[in-house]
Amino acid sequence: MARTFKVMAALLSYPESEIQAAGPELKGVLAEEALLSAGQQARLGHLIDQLESRDLYDLQERYVGLFDRSRTLSLHLFEHVHGESRARGQAMVDLQNVYGEHGLEINAKELPDFLPLFLEFLSILPLDEARSLLGETSHVLEALRDRLRKRKSIYAAVFRSLLTLAQVDANADQPEIQTEDEEPDDLEALDKAWAEEPVTFGPGEAGCNVAEKMLEKMNLPAAPAAPARG
């Protein structure tokens, strides 16, 4: 088990006063477990420093602007695989059952595929198993890292570190992702972005299906694939 995953979950959670107060503890866990390089710890330290020192309302506004307003930056993993299809719902039910079997209780307000919740789950697993499961989401993590880096967001450091924890080369060439990556600045553009087709990762229709592979690793039946759109 590795508490570093809990630190990552906290850094990707909606900023609250409790997280602001936990800055020294978060840094201490990263240093004690040393699963990340000193350079990566320093970059995460910059984010932790911001969470500690900046106005909470401003931090919350930044978080919502990044992760809640843009579908392409959604922290819900299966959103990037199944969109709003029925297959996503079944995958989430299966994942929630896995959480329950491991004693992880889910707040009724949160969906099982929310990345901070998934990271909390990984923190209670043996490290090798946690790395393997995290690696099954690597295409999602890579896309989010690149999109945040394009926006010059400090949150990109979190996803770079997650790729390191998953033992994925953060600088390797990645398959092209066939989605328009824009940051809508008006309601009409935002509605259009959320009406687009689900994101598909990997080469063509036979690319990496994150949800199915995650469930296979957990010895669960995969949700049926959503029918292709014409």
pLDDT digit string (tens) for 52-62? 999 999 999 99
Classify residue 206: in a domain, yes or no: yes
- The residue range of the domain holding 145 is 4-217
Per-residue confidence band for 35, with pLDDT thresholds at 50, 70 and 90: very high
Classify residue 189: in a domain, yes or no: yes
Contacts of residue 93, defined as CB under 8 A and 6 or more positions apart, other chains included, come to 112
Classify residue 163: in a domain, yes or no: yes
Classify residue 228: in a domain, yes or no: no
- Tell me which of 225 and 166 has the higher pLDDT: 166
Classify residue 227: in a domain, yes or no: no
Residue-wise over 101-129: b if at least 16 C-beta within 10 A, else e? Answer: eeeeebeeeebbbbbbbbbbbbbbbebee
pTM of the model: 0.76
Predicted pLDDT at 92: 74
Distance between CA 212 and CA 218 in Å, rounded? 10
Classify residue 230: in a domain, yes or no: no
Per-residue confidence band for 30, with pLDDT thresholds at 50, 70 and 90: very high
Residue-wise over 171-197: b if at least 16 C-beta within 10 A, else e? Answer: eeebeebebeeebbeeeeebeebeeee
Q: What domain count does the chain have?
A: 1
Mean pLDDT lowest among 23-27, 80-84, 137-141, 204-208? 204-208
- Mean per-residue pLDDT of the chain: 78
Tell which residue, 225, 227, 210, 185, has the closest CA to residue 95. Answer: 210
Helix 4-11 and helix 156-165, axial crossing angle in degrees, nearest 10: 160
Cα separation values, 87 from 18, 94, 178, 212, Å: 35, 11, 21, 10
- The tens digit of pLDDT for each residue in 190-224 reads 445 444 444 433 333 333 344 555 556 555 444 44
Predicted pLDDT at 216: 60
